[in-house]
Chains A and B, each alone.
Chain A
Amino acid sequence: MANEEYDAIWFGGGASGRFGSAFHKALGGRPLIVEKHGLGGECHVCRCAFENYVADQASMAEMLRLYSGLAWYPKIDLSNISMAKVVEVYRNVGQPAFHDAMSHQSEKQLQLEVAWGKGVIIDKNTVEVNGKLYKGKNLVIGTGSRPTIPDIPGTDLENVWTYRDHPYIEKDPKKLVIIGGGKIGIGKAAMFAPFNIDVTVLEKYTCLPKWDWEIRNYIFEDFKRRGIKVYEGIDVKQIKGDGKVEAVVAETNGDVMEFPCDAVILSVGLTPNSELAVPLGIKIGKENEIIIDKGCRTNVPGIYAVGDVAGPPYFMAIARKRGMVAAKNMMGEEAVMDETLPLPDHIYVPPLEATTVGLTEEEARKQYDDVVVIRVPWGDRPKDTEPLKYIPHFENQGLPVCGRMHSLNLFFYGENRNGLVKAIVDPASRKYVGFHSVGDGAKTGFQYLSYLLKIGWTVDQMAELHEIFLNAEHFVQLSRLIAGQKELTGYGAQTVTEDYTKLFPKG
Chain B
Amino acid sequence: MKGIPKPTIYKKPYDRRKTYENYDASIKEYDAIWIGGGPAGRFGSSFMKAMGGKQLTIDTDDHLGGKCPKEGAAVTMLYYDNAVELDFHRQFQGICWWPEFNEKVEILPIIRLVDEGLENVQDFMFHQSKEEIGLEFILNEEAKIIDPHTVEVNSKQFKAKNIVIGTGSRPHMPDMQGIDYYGVYNYHTFRSLDYEPEKVAVIGASRTGSLYASFFRACGCETHLFDKLPFYTYLDKEIREYVVQNMMQRGLNLHEEAEVVAISGSRGKVNTVTYKTKEGKEESIGADFVFVATGAVPNSEIAEPLGVKIGPDNEIVVNSRMQTSVPGVYAIGDLIGKPHEMWKARKSGMVAAQNILGQDKELKVDFYPQQMHTTYEIVWVGDTEEEARKKGHNKLFIVRIPNRNYDKPPYPPDAPMPLRPQSLPIAERSTLFAYMIPPLSGYQKIIYDGDTRRILGAHHVGYGAKDAFQYLAYLIEKGFTIDELVNLNELFLNPDHYIQLSRLRAGMKDLVDLG
Contact = CB atoms under 8 A, between A and B. Distances in A.
A122 interface: no
A366 B1 contact: yes
Interface stretch (A56-64, A253-261, A272-280): A56-64
Contacts of B170: none
Interface in B22-61: 43, 46-52
Nearest to A77: B99
Interface in A103-145: 103-105, 108-110
Contacts of A76: 99
A309 to B, nearest CB: 18
Interface string A458-495: 00000111111111110011001111111000011111
B489 A450 contact: yes
A392 B119 CA distance: 8
A167 B73 CA distance: 40
Contacts of A100: 419-421
B490 to A, nearest CB: 5
A376 to B, nearest CB: 9
B82 A72 contact: yes
A239 interface: no
B474 to A, nearest CB: 6
Interface stretch (B153-161, B310-318, B447-455, B462-470): B462-470
A228 to B, nearest CB: 20
Nearest to A71: B109
Contacts of B438: 97
B119 A23 contact: no
Interface string A412-452: 01000000000000000000000000001111111111111
B123 to A, nearest CB: 5
B242 interface: no
Given A56-B428, A442-B467, A448-B472, A406 B77 contact: yes
A300 interface: no
A351 B505 CA distance: 34
B124 A317 contact: no
B443 to A, nearest CB: 15
Please tell me the size bucket of the interface on B. 35 or more
Contact of A407 (B82, B471, B491): B82
Interface residues of A, number: 131
A466 B466 CA distance: 11
A92 B51 CA distance: 60
B493 interface: yes
Contacts of A491: 128, 132-133
B103 interface: yes
Given A380-B7, A468-B466, A495-B6, A444 B495 contact: yes
A399 B123 CA distance: 11
B423 A98 contact: yes
A399 B117 CA distance: 11
A105 B468 contact: no
B491 A53 contact: no
8 contacts: A22-B507, A74-B101, A89-B435, A92-B418, A327-B507, A394-B123, A468-B470, A483-B50
Smallest CB-CB A-B distances: 5 pairs: A26-B507, A484-B50, A445-B467, A448-B471, A395-B127
Interface of B: 1-2, 4-13, 43, 46-52, 68, 73-74, 77-78, 80-82, 84-86, 88, 95-97, 99, 101, 103, 105-106, 109-110, 113-114, 116-117, 119-121, 123-124, 126-128, 131-134, 219, 341-344, 346-347, 350, 353-354, 368-371, 379, 403, 405-406, 418-424, 426-429, 431-432, 434-436, 438, 463-475, 486-496, 499-500, 503-509, 514-515
Given A441-B464, A473-B467, A482-B50, 10 more contacts: A22-B503, A56-B428, A105-B403, A110-B514, A321-B489, A341-B488, A341-B489, A394-B11, A441-B463, A468-B369
